[in-house]
Amino acid sequence: MTATKPGAQAGSGANADPDYAARRYSSLSRINRDDVHELVPLWTFSTGVLRGHEGAPLVVGGLLYAHTPFPNTVYALDLAHDGRIVWRYRPVQDPSVAGVMCCDVASRGLAYDDGLVFLYQADATLVALDAATGAERWRVKNADPADGATATSAPFAARGRVLVGVSGGEYGVRGHMTAYDAKTGKRLWRAYSTGPDADMRVDPQRTTELGRPVGRESSLKSWEGDQWRLGGGDPWGRISYDPELDLVYYGTGNPSTWNPVQRPGDNKWATAIVARDLETGVARWLYQMTPHDQWDYDGVNEMILTDADVDGRRRRLLMHFDRNGFAYMLDRESGELLRADKFDPDANWAKRIDLDKNSPGYGRPVLDEAFSTEAAGEDTPTRGVCPATVGAKNANPAAFSPQTGLFYVPLISLCMDFEPFRVSYARGQPYTGADTSVAAPHPGAMGGLLAWDPVKGAPAWRVGETFPVVSGVLATGGGLVFYGALDGYLKALDARTGEERFRFKTPSGIVGDPIAFSFGGKDYVAVLSGVGGWAGAGLTAGLTGTKEGENSPEVYAALSAYTTLGGQLTVFGLR
């Protein structure tokens, strides 16, 4: 089931029809629970880059498009000839860009629309390439790395538009989402995450939160002075889209700085879910999950769109597993919050989310002040906060199977000590304002895969992993769930029971997203391996013997005994 229609997104499960809903589900079933044990690697391809290979390959027709982290080389590989290189594109970028990228020099993938492949370079340049030849059709600069603004996210293509966010919350970069014309590169609209209504494309009467108008200058009123100008809220995660509602959905990152004492107020609209009109960029509704975020709980994790019966009526749903450890279910048309449950049982920063619609705190977390980093004050550590800043789940995507009705969530089980300190802004310099150290509450089990029942708001099953799971997940019509482990294994589990049915150790730790595709009447599974990202920083940046490594020895130092650097595509098929 290869991608032949416009709007394919890197990271889509089957790489067939556009995976606008971010379900990461492939209907392919030739590889299934009964024969997956016969899966073998058929061919491999070295990318030539030794950093964190996040995201997924993209299959369109008979070509597989593979991307690398910085310097962001793109390869078009011929599926009919075991990955023969049809063309390659090597961007020319200032190497200093790598020095201002947070959490490794990752790229989370490509997008395709109507004969064009879109690459979002690390230096925040968006490029359109001819899918057949690799020729550059246009390029546009979306942000300035001199400000600390870079690009790690995959572009998103739909209805002749390409959307890109920006990274840089750790440098005081004010977040924005921007839409470009797919054919010409002309900017169509830009919407900021913080600031005046006009900048954010917010209508104070028509844009709502939890069914109520947000009111005039909702963001400005939630910041002290002009701190919003450095307010972060960078949307560096994935984007979803409902074609019938013509709404795009994405999350915004942490407010800046990490030190909550320096930014009183709710700090809207950082750590929020945003629903915008694709054509105009005007916000339909907003929902802030972690007001006045004190723990760096970016809200950028993917928004999974499904339809189901809730409270006796058919609903268009949005499911979001946030870094803060809560699973949120909302009506994606109205923004109504339907439920919010802890999927991380160790999460202690909040006791629950207030779901009483008659309460003044409706939709807000009920905090546990023992874990408030602001209450502790500057230069004083708050100990044992769960989850850590990396979250109970990071930006690597979960999956949904319509076969089982379950969501499959990659897990991180880490807690932290968090010490805020006073920081001054300087353009292009780190603006974090906090020191953190992490530890595992359950040694030897720092991650896993969770099957989540949205009706019960509870786990259906869970399997553990030695290290955090920071690969994406893929569910298939063959009743399987695929994911990668930091020690290099690609695994397949029974989607209903969690029983392991397949494993194969690739040359390096997996932080990429598995895909399934069909070509020549046969089904295949492919994944990029190459340890990196925040979880592999000890290897990619040589931190195992440093203070940073000592602060988190279970993550940084221990991993070096299981895997090493690499960059490889592995394509699997049945014997």
Indicate which residues carry an active-site annotation.
296
Q: Who's near 127: CB < 8 A, 6+ residues apart?
A: 89, 91, 118, 119, 120, 121, 136, 138, 139
DSSP state of 540: H
Say how many C-beta atoms besides its own lie within 10 A of residue 379's C-beta: 10
Contacts of 218 (CB under 8 A, 6+ apart): 197, 202, 204, 209, 268, 269
Helix (H, G, I), strand (E, B) or coil at 397: coil
What gap in Å lies between CA 273 and CA 266, rounded to an integer?
15
Question: Distance of CA 270 to CAs 255, 257, 281, 300, 554, Å?
Answer: 5, 11, 17, 10, 31
CB 515 within 8 A of CB 15: yes
C-alpha span between 312 and 206 (Å, rounded): 27
User: How many CA atoms, within 13 angstroms, populate the side-chain half-sphere of residue 276?
Assistant: 26
Cβ atoms of 271 and 255 closer than 8 Å: yes
Q: DSSP 3-state assignment of 147?
A: helix
469: Cβ contacts below 8 Å, ≥ 6 apart = 396, 410, 411, 412, 447, 448, 449, 483, 484, 485, 486
The whole-angstrom separation of Cα 469 and Cα 409 is: 9
Report d(CA 506, CA 538) in Å as an integer: 19
Indicate the SS3 state at residue 61: coil
Please give, one letter per residue, the 3-state secondary structure of 484-502.
ECCCCEEEEEECCCCCEEE
Q: 479, 499 in Cβ contact below 8 A?
A: no
Helix (H) or strand (E) holding 538: helix 537-540
Count of Cβ atoms closer than 10 Å to residue 512 Cβ: 33
Q: Cα Rg for the chain, rounded, in angstroms?
A: 22
Residue 435: partners with Cβ closer than 8 Å, 6 or more residues away: 381, 418, 419, 421
Assign 126 to helix, strand or coil: strand
Q: Are strands 25-26 and 473-476 parallel, antiparallel or unpaired?
A: parallel
- Separation CA 482–CA 402 (nearest Å): 16
